[in-house]
Amino acid sequence: MSKDFNRFLELTKEKKLSKIMPELIHFATEIGNDELKQWLLLEYNGYYRDNKAIDDSTEVPEYRQVPGQFFDYNNRPLIIEEPSLSFVNIIKLRNTISELENFSDNKFYRINDPQLNNIINTNFKVKVHYFSFHGSSVIPILDSIRSYLLSMLLNLKVSTTNLNETSENVSFHPFVEKVAGKLFNDGHYRNAILDTFIELVDVVKTKSGRFDLDGTPLMQTVFSPKNPIIKISENVDEQQGYMWMFSGAVMAIRNSHAHKVIKPETRQETIEWLGFASALLKILDKAELINSKKIPDETRNKRVY
């Protein structure tokens, strides 16, 4: 799936929109994304009344605006002197994407829209025949459509990416992928987070040998700034900071009230929580184990659940 998104992202950057939109419409249909499909059909076929994608709520987007001027039957321009009424000389183009691409940036074009003409006639008591605009004003419209399409594809890529695909970019710790991968991919976000932080505690116990401790006492003993079992930094203040990071992970996340705190609504939020756990696990991998002889022999292999 991510390969499809990557290909479409590259095509959207390089190709004419009219060339790639038909394939994107088919793709949106395949993945069942009605929002993307509806928007593509409107942009591709134009915001014309005979477009079947149009419904009662459809409006021509603001990014399709072009500045220009109305002219009467004798080619005399409608002069708007009042600044507050300057919006009159701006219209929204309903054209198909191919028509927009075919506008030349060194020519003027005319649009004869009876409905728009009637609005001017009614409100200004002036009869106009057509609206004229320069082709160069269409370039920002095409740029906006391209940018909007890229944004939609990027958002969809994030929302449909599996954890193992995401890890290609963010490089999760192997334990995170092992514990949370399937839960994340199946949409069990809260469980993915909680199980990962439970694993984090177990890894701390295993590395330190302090199976007799759990939760905050474990973290504050193991990462003690003055007498650490696991040393992360030679600097006492930094060591204490890491101690509080690990303690906070237990106090705020892996505790009996976690269901009140951990309520991820999106994949992105879950990725951020898992990223925090992954960072702690990577720090732990690099940390130095010391003072292991001070661990009581009778508690070295005793787990606390």
Any domain includes 268: yes
Least confident of 46-50, 59-63, 70-74, 261-265: 261-265
Boundaries of domain holding 15: 2-59+142-160
Supply the DSSP symbol for 234. Answer: S
How many domains are contained in the chain? 3
Any domain includes 305: no
Average the pLDDT over 237-261 and give the result.
Answer: 74
> Do 71 and 48 fall within a single domain?
no
Average pLDDT of the chain to the nearest whole number: 84
> Do 234 and 185 fall within a single domain?
yes
> Do 148 and 262 fall within a single domain?
no
Residue 7's pLDDT band, with cuts at 50, 70 and 90, is confident
> Do 273 and 209 fall within a single domain?
yes
> Do 185 and 275 fall within a single domain?
yes
Determine the pLDDT at residue 96: 97
Whole-angstrom distance, CA of residue 195 vs CA of residue 67: 57
- Determine if the pTM surpasses 0.95: no
Residue 68's pLDDT band, with cuts at 50, 70 and 90, is very high
Q: Is 191 exposed, middle or buried (0-12, 13-18, 19+ CB in 10 A)?
A: middle
Average the pLDDT over 56-60 and give the result.
Answer: 91
Tokens of 205: 């116990």
Higher pLDDT, 291 or 298: 291
> Do 8 and 154 fall within a single domain?
yes
> Do 173 and 210 fall within a single domain?
yes
Determine the pLDDT at residue 162: 63
> Do 131 and 167 fall within a single domain?
no
Least confident of 83-87, 232-236, 242-246, 296-300: 296-300
Tens digit of pLDDT for each residue in 142-187?
A: 999 998 888 888 777 766 666 665 544 567 899 999 999 999 888 8
Average the pLDDT over 61-70 and give the result.
Answer: 93
> Do 147 and 132 fall within a single domain?
no
Any domain includes 292: yes
Are the CB atoms for 230 and 208 separated by under 8 Å? yes
Any domain includes 41: yes
Q: Which residue is it, tokens 């690990």?
A: 246
Supply the DSSP symbol for 227. Answer: S
Which residues share a beta bridge with 288?
A: 231
Any domain includes 150: yes
Any domain includes 19: yes
Determine the pLDDT at residue 164: 60
> Do 132 and 146 fall within a single domain?
no
Tokens of 252: 């705020």
Higher pLDDT, 114 or 292: 114
Determine the pLDDT at residue 158: 62
Determine the pLDDT at residue 304: 38
